[in-house]
Amino acid sequence: MALLESEAKLIRKTWAPVQSSKDSWPRLFVIFFSKAPEAQKKFKSFESVPLSELPANKRLKAHAASVVTLLSGIIDFLDDPETMIEMIENMATRHHKRNIPISIFNALGESVIDFLKEMNPGKFDDEAVAAWTKLYSALVSVVKAEFEKLDNKK
């Protein structure tokens, strides 16, 4: 995956408001679970918590922090694709046993973009959407390849 420097810059710039606003992180999951209600069922500790109560749920807050922190780590390594791919493969390995269809990974990608639009009001233009779509599609390709590798080992 080769991101242009201009794309990497745009990704870092639009991610910055997310990193500096911890209180917003559960919102990503409210968007995600409204788009893909089946995803919420994978989280036993808050599978039946109503969406309106999720932002205050401490387990969801902790989970949102893990996901955002890993995404921040990936973004820190945009200029080192080898390490970045290794980070994504590790995440995929840990998710394989959870039986998450790739379609749900794609729904999370759409949610990340919707969330970024909210976090960068009026500033998340087509170019930003294209840069994030490129990064997230690359992430999904790595996850898919890792899942297939692990499926073949079964």
CB of 148 to ligand HEM, least distance (A): 17
Closer CB to ligand HEM, residue 100 or residue 150?
100
Closer CB to ligand HEM, residue 108 or residue 131?
108
CA distance 131 to 112: 12
CB of 12 to ligand HEM, least distance (A): 17
Closer CB to ligand HEM, residue 105 or residue 132?
105
Alpha-helix residue ranges (DSSP H) falling in 42-101: 58-76, 81-96
CB of 89 to ligand HEM, least distance (A): 12
Show the tokens assigned to 113.
């973009």
CA distance 140 to 142: 5
CB of 108 to ligand HEM, least distance (A): 4
CA distance 150 to 129: 31
The binding site for ligand HEM (CB under 6 A) comprises: 39, 42-43, 45, 63, 66-67, 70-71, 91, 94-95, 98, 100, 104-105, 108, 139
CA distance 111 to 105: 10
